[in-house]
Amino acid sequence: MASTTRPNIVLIMADQLAPHFTGAYGHAVVKTPNLDALVARGARFDAAYCNSPLCAPSRAAFMTGQLISRLGTYDNASDFAASVPTFAHYLRQAGYRTCLAGRMHFVGPDQLHGFEERVTTDVYPADFAWVPDWHHADQRIDRWYHNMDSVLEAGSAVTAFQIEYDEEVGYATRRRLMQYACERDTPFALVASFMNPHDPYVALPAFWNLYEDDAIDLPDTTIDTVVRDPFSARVLDGIGANAAVTSEADIRRARRGYYANVSYFDSKIGEIVRTIDEIGQLDNTIFIVTSDHGDMLGERGLWYKMSFFEHSARVPLVIAGPGIAAGPIASPCSLVDLLPTMLDFAGASDLPLGQPVDGRSLAPMARGGDEDDGCAIGEYCAEMTATPVFMIRRGAWKYVHCDDDPPQLYNLENDPLERANLVADPACADIAADFAAEVASRWDSAALRDDVIASQAARRVVFEAMQTGRRTDWDYTPPRDASEEYVRNHIDWTVAAVKTRFPPPGD
């Protein structure tokens, strides 16, 4: 494949991967050799956050560079408008081939959102079935709310739906990269987005057997070692943790399954990097590895996401490739920063933006420039609450606000496990007041709540109507025309042999 003047971009995304549970971020047990290798030659962002700790809202923010309060993508059943430009649209404008392999949890009839092609379906439904109801925020939707089954049933299996899916994503990614090599024309931007290590915590035996129960560390903060804030109390009820009886063995087994699936995801990173090397593009490809949110994994008694505590809200972010300087970066950042970052790498920062973007480019820091005074903004407008929840991370400080709950203020340098809420500490009064004033100036919480409730009501009507009569599904089915594949009567096999061979004959 001929070298291009602009780098290819390969973004590898996990689902529900907290950086705390990777060797690349210093965990003593979890094995991530392929991510470690990228960190050794790339930039590791140590304070990267999602913009909403839930799959669909986080991914919509990631795709558009916009916060969910601007987009209206509030929960896992919020439609993502086709009129909103994404990084895939902009990169296409810049001359890149764009491809999505894997999940992105797009809700609504547009299942491409700027990607030229999508080579797999998604895991979860694309309709409005999972709409919360803030008028009855304390009622579980048993059909889809998280419960503790993933913890109590963790273990090893030779297959499961998330394993089957990720195997398909890995195969489709390698196949498309090989096709890019054979086409030898323009730079490409490919997103490979995997399901693991998202629960259920069920792992293939080869990865399960990388770990032993006795070696699995238990949570640093148990439910009895921290003051339970009201939002956490609601989440504990919502996921059924208060009603479930979990033993230390259950917790170890669930964490072992998660660790095993982190290593499984890491193996997919390795497969993709090796494929890029095989097609001769290792020195011309920017790799970005991240996740949509993290997983509490038993910390504070909490599991899964839906929280602005570090294990839920922080994400790994590693960038490696030509021109990238190796080393850690402490400046807070978030997923909305990736759109301008990728445009910067593509040499397309001067493209006119169709809508305002809430992020900034991380490329200057990744290239070894001075760190900026970054800020990460989080918004949560989904289940387990009836009022928007906001987070601001700046410097050492994190501030969390919800109109229904007492505010929270943490100094993450001194208290990385967030055990001491300093909002009432007289020594922090000015800091807390400044954050409170910033929340009031950034958001109209009451107006946002009204919009969320109106959106929920409208989507419930649409969903119920679509269950009547002939069903229309938005779930994506990748197009495939077998008559144009391999060797056919109108396709000379000698031509096909040359077109699909890399390196080509004579190289």
| Angstrom distances, CA of residue 168 to CA of 79, 171, 194 | 26, 5, 10
Nearest to 262 by CA among 96, 25, 429, 1: 25
Distance, CA of 139 to CA of 238 (rounded, Å): 8
8-12, 143-147, 471-475: which is most confident: 8-12
Share of the chain above pLDDT 90, in %: 88
pLDDT at 141: 67
Q: Judge whether 182 counts as a catalytic residue.
A: no
Six-digit token string for 205: 């035996």
pLDDT digits (tens, 9 = 90+) for 343-382: 999 999 999 999 999 999 999 999 999 999 999 999 999 9
488/438: higher pLDDT: 438
Please compute the mean of the pLDDT values over residues 195-203 and round it to a whole number.
97
User: Mean pLDDT in the chain?
Assistant: 95
pTM over 0.75: yes
Backbone phi, then psi, for 230, in 5-degree steps? -60, -35
* Helix, strand, coil tally for the chain in percent (to 5): 35, 15, 50
CA distance 109 to 194: 22
On the question of pLDDT at 503 being above 90, the answer is no
Tell me which of 105, 113, 293, 311 is the catalytic residue: 105
Q: What 8-state DSSP symbol labels residue 305?
A: S
* pLDDT tens readout for residues 474-487: 999 999 999 988 88
Q: Rounded distance, CA 421 to CA 425, Å?
A: 8
Annotated catalytic residue 105 = yes
Q: Which domains does the chain have, with CATH numbers?
A: 8-376 (3.40.720.10)
pLDDT value at 235 more than 50: yes
As to burial, measured by CB atoms within 10 angstroms (0-12 exposed, 13-18 middle, 19+ buried), residue 227 is: exposed
Give the mean pLDDT of 87-94: 98
Task: Give the CA distances from residue 30 to residues 151, 215, 294, in Å, rounded to whole numbers and listed in that order.
Answer: 18, 10, 15
Q: Is 349 helix (H, G, I), strand (E, B) or coil?
A: coil
- Indicate which residue of 20, 50, 55, 198 is catalytic: 55
Region of poorest pLDDT, from 18-22, 315-319, 383-387: 383-387
pLDDT score recorded for residue 143: 61
Query: What integer pLDDT is reported at residue 2 of this predicted model?
Result: 37
